Structure 1
Amino acid sequence: MSEQLTLTPRQRDDLRTIAAMIIPASEEYNVPGADDEIIQADILATLGRDTRPVAAALDHLARLAGMPLADLEPAARAGVAQQLRKAGGVPAATLVRVVLQCYYRDDRVLRSLGLELRAPFPRGHVLPDGDWTLLDPVKARGGSLRRAT
């Protein structure tokens, strides 16, 4: 069985449509939607091993819609997306994860969140100290975990 390496034009149109539904543009925050050309290009360029499950989710969407999702009336799309959310399984979760990861690494989105445009390493991001007592129940279980050597 050969691995699907790219999305078909129909799948790319449906990806753009569902991505806009997952994260619409916001004028209030001056950020694009996930259907933005740059974000879509990033998704397509980095799909890699996720191509098959994403294609499966997009094909499932088209089957639920009875046509390409992009061709469906906008008012009917939400119902189809809801059906995918309920019955799409791992492929649907993969589709959403891919859209989110590419969206939240876009420079415009990072700027709108007040984040510095840099890789998280080697400097890292400082996290505030949390409530370490939340781990007490885990520690109280004793040696149920394998000790590091």
Structure 2
Amino acid sequence: MSHSNELTVAQRADFRTIAAMIVPESAEYKVPGADDPAIQADMLATLGRDTAPVAQALDHLARLAGRPLAELDAARRDAVAKEFRASGGTAAATLVRVVLQCYYRDDRVLRSLGLEPRAPFPKGHVLPEGDWSLLDPVRARGGSLRGVSR
């Protein structure tokens, strides 16, 4: 699905760089950084309505950096990131939230935290077998659930 509200190549590159600054790779905990290809793919695929504020944040970041973030040396990059956090407002906050949200649903990251990777509802979290009382509110409002009997 290609539409105009996708990030540009330059924005994606800066997104990858800032993501790695937010969550760097850790050899000690054997976890990837937030710039990991799989995590980046998840971020880009699930941006949805956050695309506009994230693009806005990346444009602001680009103005502060004056060139692709990856081309700056570490000290300059840190200075830009600090300025970005201070002046980026809600757009910057949205970018950080998106990075963390996607990072902490990566299987490798969950395992490193001692959590069981699970699919999002409804696949991953199993309801107790035969607990039809969960359907009472649906029944009460006259929902048509054919073939469900007590």
Say yes or no: TM over 0.5: yes
Tell me the number of residue pairs that the alignment of Structure 1 and Structure 2 aligns. Answer: 122
**Superposed structure 1 runs of 4+ greater than 3 Å apart:** 119-124
Distance in 1 of aligned mates of 2:109 and 2:103: 7
Partner of 2:35: 35
What residue in structure 2 maps to residue 112 of structure 1? Answer: 112
Q: TM-score, with normalisation over the residues of structure 2?
A: 0.76
The alignment yields a C-alpha RMSD, in angstroms, of: 1.6
Aligned to 1:67: 67
Secondary structure of the equivalent of 2:116? coil
What residue in structure 1 maps to residue 79 of structure 2? Answer: 79
Q: Give per-residue Cα distances to partners, 1:36-77, cap 9 Å, x unaligned.
A: 010000001100100110011111011011122222222210
Measured in 1, the distance between the counterparts of 2:4 and 2:92 equals 17
SS of equivalent residue, structure 1 residue 17: helix
The one-letter code of the counterpart of 2:23 is: I
Contact 1:4/1:52 (<8 A) preserved:
no
Question: What pairs up with 1:1-149 in 2 under 5 angstroms?
Answer: 4-119=4-119, 121=121, 122-123=125-126
Unpaired segments ≥5 residues, structure 2 = 128-150
Larger Rg: 2
Q: Secondary structure at the match of 2:78?
A: helix
Q: Which amino acid aligns with 2:109?
A: V
Q: Percent identity?
A: 71
Residues 1:120 and 1:10: Cα distance change in structure 2 (over 3 Å)? closer
